[in-house]
Amino acid sequence: MGEVKWTKEQLLAINEKGKNILVAAAAGSGKTAVLVERIINKIISEKIDIDKILVVTFTKAASSEMKGRILDAIYKKIEEAPEDTHMQRQVNLLSKANICTIDAFCLEVVKNNFFEIRNFSKFKNCRKYRNTNTKARYFRRIIRK
């Protein structure tokens, strides 16, 4: 397989430093590949551990695919430099990494900050609503009380 030819916009997303980014594009445009490259670059060049990076996706399938691709990229880097203990540690840290859906991330924030919500016990009832708009209305009502 040959070298990946990134577009100008993709390179900007991969190499942007000191900022959070949002990657939004059509299906099949290379979003996952761009994010994986960005993450691997941060792990290598900035020595950031994978569990210190937040990656939020829309679907469980996308988050699972992202984790798999990141793991593959980490293993590839380990093959290139087997003595790199930083990259070896990333394999273990990947299980604690924040690579999840928006729903999962928001739920984790609520669970970790439940004491800030006055009616937290009512939050559990929100799960019974399948419609996202209904959940949002119910949740807003709980928070306001």
pLDDT in tens, 27-54: 888 888 999 999 999 999 999 999 999 9
pLDDT of residue 53: 93
Per DSSP, the residues of 84-126 read: -HHHHHHHHHGGGSEEEEHHHHHHHHHHHTGGG-TTHHHHGGG
Q: In terms of Cα–Cα distance, which of 115, 118, 110 is closest to 135? A: 110
How far, in Å, CA of 113 to CA of 119, rounded?
A: 12
pLDDT of residue 36: 92
Quick one: how far is CA 17 from the chain centroid? 17
How far, in Å, CA of 115 to CA of 126, rounded?
A: 17
Question: Which residues of the chain register pLDDT less than 70?
Answer: 1-2, 114-145
pLDDT of residue 122: 55
Q: In terms of Cα–Cα distance, which of 98, 53, 94, 46 is closest to 72? A: 94
Answering whether pTM is above 0.85, one says no
pLDDT of residue 125: 55
pLDDT of residue 14: 93
Quick one: how far is CA 59 from the chain centroid? 11
Q: Which residues pair with 100 in a beta bridge?
A: 56
pLDDT of residue 42: 93
How far, in Å, CA of 17 to CA of 101, rounded?
A: 24
pLDDT of residue 126: 57
Domains and CATH numbers, the chain: 8-102 (3.40.50.300), 113-145 (no CATH)
**Dihedral angle sign, alpha carbons of residues 138, 140, 142, 144:** negative
